[in-house]
Structure 1
Amino acid sequence: MIGLDVYLYPDGIRVAEPDDIIRWEKERELYDPHVRLFVALFPYNPSLMSPNPNKAEELPFQKGQIIKVYGEKDADGFYHGECAGRFGYIPSNMVSEIPVYDGDQKLELFQQGFLPEAYCSPPDSCSSVPEDMKVRRMIAIFDYDPWESSPNMDMEDELPFKVGDIIYVFGEMDGDGFYYGDLHGVRGLIPSNYVEDLPWN
């Protein structure tokens, strides 16, 4: 006796093709709570932007694109996931998790492929960075702990970092000599004399 996978359509039953089975397996993944959806906050081209030697293992994506992520980020700050039918690594500071946990909603979003430009998660993560703002990559040349070294009263708005950390900086330096940047998905002010430019290529 031969077993066949069948699928019930509104207009009847038909035998499942191999492509159907692959698609169903991918759809079923989204009902797993360990599989999450993220949205790209910026466009990312590993061949031009990645500091890693194994750039081919990273995923390129566009701003607003929805990415399926498996598990937690690794020690280097990368997730492993799927985007546009490709699998690879994703820098965690270029994406933000979409707070959707219902399997049906996750499936619908992933099939949609992109989120509207107005969407941000968390709500203030995109609004503070205008669409046309220049994004630069900088590297920390000294350790910085705001609680020990900051001259400011509002030091909770500043980012602590270590030598060698790569920080994404938005816009220009303010009048107090601070940049506004992102380190591993956390944003805040960084003193300009503790960092230097790190070219994308």
Structure 2
Amino acid sequence: MPPQQCGRGDDDACAGERGTRSHSGEDDFTPHYDYVPGPARQPESTGVDAPTISDDVATVGVKRPITRGTAGQPLTVTINNFKITLPAAKFYHYAGRYFFQMVHHLIYSILWWIYCIIVDIQLDEPKPIKWNHQLMCALQERVAPAIFTPRAVYDGRKDLFARRYLPLAGGNGNTETLRRH
């Protein structure tokens, strides 16, 4: 039987019916926390025996037991998992040096486009993640929407994931240089 939750320090709160948290009066989405017992513990359920050590090998440290899972305290792990269905689609991963070459060309283009002057920036210094996200947002929404439509997902450092191959016009297909108008 699951433990009953009561009011804070008031044992009388357990005596009556508890109301629901639903404001609409429906109980369809009220969470239920029913205890589900775990499966019986089977320490050797992997079907693989623990390795044996020859007697003439001098071991260092604590000698390990022959059977796994017999020492220590058993512990219950509660997880929240659910089934998902992913669409059957390709994802393109742009990472590392080639992606940064593309971004660096676009940085110069953005600075030229915004300030209309050539600005010397130190691209070898890592920029903050927020700055990188703002840059990618500007690239995808204003500077090069034709390249980044549909939008790609960027981790803020060096990885970009796109649902389609990005049409980069560089000689090797890994770079793109945007010119000011």
TM-score category (smaller protein): under 0.3
The structure, 1 or 2, with the larger RCO (C-alpha pairs under 8 Å, 6+ apart) is 2
1 or 2, which has the higher strand percentage?
1
Structure of higher CA gyration radius: 2
TM-score normalized with structure 2 length: 0.20
